């Protein structure tokens, strides 16, 4: 049950009767990838999830998952954040963890590192995960000397604050949104918020929390409440008539951590009134985008919202086929956002198409409204 040679302080019982709730980031639980160099599919997410039963239950029979939406009572909450590295055939897993009592008080934090050679060993990932998890639990037993009497199960998993379990030193992903009314509600692409437990917005160096107000997975749209009043919301073009070739501005926060923290502005044109393979609801535009641009506005020279950035072509996949497309990007036509906002009773402004306009007018409208969104798990 315990690793060979491991001893616990006197009085620490194994199996231990403490109700231990274990949290893993949702994105880690869903992780599955292909190692091209080894032609090997790996499923670390399943192994992480399994470790809560195959490993944790042996030491803590009352262990339970602390995933969002779950229920159950706990005495100690364990938030675990794995970090993976793979180089020269060697797998390295650093399992960082923090233990809390039901009041959210930090009891213990630390990390365990395990490594293994992957060559000829397809089970290395599972083995590394199980061993690291085992050592995390041993550390909890050794340092906290837990018991049901010492840590009674008074905490409710469904009431765990996301701010307690998420890792705040670095977001798992970032994206873009923009204000659509004076009340400070933000429109973005729904996929920007996927698996986020906590979302923060930033504008002009000021960070503020945002919460989900409405969402459509089908349209890939979401509205966030910020409680931050503004005078620089983006108006929608009334009627949403797109002109092929018309100039557009796209603003976003691409490649967070690599590029500047200020908004990135690109220029292009409306290239087509349909999406990939003629799909309706999207239009194609040529202003360059990068990861992190999703959810950003596509704005006319009149300062009107035309669309919401949602995707780009997978250039790497096409290059392998001998194709080299450039600046083939897609936005959701804002007319669909209008219907969504009306259905959800979210306030927004429409303006008649503005003739003339300028690049400066587009830039000012877009830059004043955009915010960077950071997702934490």
CB 115 within 8 A of CB 95: no
> Of the ranges 93-102, 160-169, 247-256, 324-333, which is most confident?
93-102
* pLDDT at 74 exceeding the cut of 90: yes
Q: 137-148: per-residue pLDDT in tens?
A: 999 999 999 999
| Structure tokens that stand for 208 in this block | 């503020």
Q: 78-118: per-residue pLDDT in tens?
A: 999 999 888 888 889 999 999 999 999 999 999 999 998 87
DSSP class of residue 68 equals T
Q: What pLDDT, on a 0 to 100 scale, did the predictor assign at position 148?
A: 97
Q: What is the H or E stretch that residue 315 is in? A: helix 315-319
CA-CA distance, 124 to 93, in Å (whole number)? 11
Q: 12-64: per-residue pLDDT in tens?
A: 989 999 999 999 999 999 888 776 766 777 788 899 999 998 899 999 999 99
Q: What pLDDT, on a 0 to 100 scale, did the predictor assign at position 319?
A: 39
The CATH number of the domain covering residues in 173-376 = 2.40.10.120
* pLDDT at 209 exceeding the cut of 90: yes
| Structure tokens that stand for 64 in this block | 């339970």
DSSP class of residue 151 equals S
Q: What pLDDT, on a 0 to 100 scale, did the predictor assign at position 218?
A: 94
* pLDDT at 6 exceeding the cut of 90: no
Per-residue confidence band for 217, with pLDDT thresholds at 50, 70 and 90: very high
Residues 164, 167, 170, 172, CA torsion sign: negative
Q: 275-304: per-residue pLDDT in tens?
A: 666 667 899 999 988 888 999 999 999 999
Comparing 287 with 254, which gets the higher pLDDT?
Answer: 287
Per-residue confidence band for 322, with pLDDT thresholds at 50, 70 and 90: very low
Q: Biggest alpha carbon distance in the chain?
A: 81
Q: Domain segments of the chain: what residues?
A: 20-162, 173-376
Mean pLDDT across the chain: 89
Domain 20-162: CATH class, spelled out: alpha beta
Burial 319-345 (b: 16+ CB within 10 A, else e): eeeeeeeebbbbbbbbbbbbebbeeee
Cα three-residue angle 228-229-233, rounded to 5 degrees = 110
Give residue for tokens 């698996």.
195
């Amino acid at each position: 049950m315990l690793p060979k040679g491991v001893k616990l302080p006197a009085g620490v019982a194994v199996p231990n009767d403490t109700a231990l709730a274990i949290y893993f980031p949702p994105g880690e639980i869903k992780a599955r990838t292909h190692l091209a160099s080894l032609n090997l599919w790996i499923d670390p997410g399943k192994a992480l999830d399994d470790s809560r039963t195959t490993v944790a239950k042996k030491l803590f029979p009352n262990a339970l998952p602390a995933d969002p939406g779950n229920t159950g009572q706990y005495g100690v909450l364990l938030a675990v954040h794995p970090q993976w590295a793979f180089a020269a055939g060697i797998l390295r897993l650093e399992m960082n963890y923090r233990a809390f009592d039901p009041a959210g008080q930090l009891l213990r934090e630390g990390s365990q590192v395990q490594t293994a050679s992957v060559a000829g060993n397809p089970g290395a990932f599972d083995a590394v995960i199980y061993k690291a998890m085992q050592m995390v639990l041993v550390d909890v037993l050794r340092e906290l000397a837990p018991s049901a009497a010492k840590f009674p199960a008074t905490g409710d998993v469904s009431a765990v604050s996301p701010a307690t379990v998420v890792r705040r030193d670095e977001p798992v992903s970032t994206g873009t949104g923009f204000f659509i009314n004076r009340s400070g509600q933000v429109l973005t692409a729904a996929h920007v918020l996927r698996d986020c437990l906590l979302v923060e917005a930033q504008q002009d160096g000021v960070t503020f929390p945002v919460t989900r107000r409405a969402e459509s997975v089908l349209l890939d749209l979401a509205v966030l409440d910020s409680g931050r009043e503004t005078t620089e919301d983006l108006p929608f073009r009334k009627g949403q008539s797109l002109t092929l070739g018309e100039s557009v501005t796209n603003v976003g926060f691409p490649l967070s951590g690599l590029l500047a923290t200020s908004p990135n502005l690109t220029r292009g044109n409306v290239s087509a009134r349909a999406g990939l393979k003629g799909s309706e609801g999207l239009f194609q535009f040529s202003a360059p985008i990068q990861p992190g641009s999703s959810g950003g506005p596509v704005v006319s020279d009149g300062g009107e919202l035309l669309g919401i950035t949602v995707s780009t072509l997978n250039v790497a996949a096409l290059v392998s086929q001998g194709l080299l497309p450039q600046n083939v990007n897609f936005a959701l036509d804002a007319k669909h956002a209008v219907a969504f906002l009306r259905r959800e009773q979210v306030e927004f402004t429409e303006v008649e198409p503005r003739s003339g306009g300028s690049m400066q007018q587009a830039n000012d409208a877009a830059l004043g409204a955009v915010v960077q969104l950071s997702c934490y798990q």
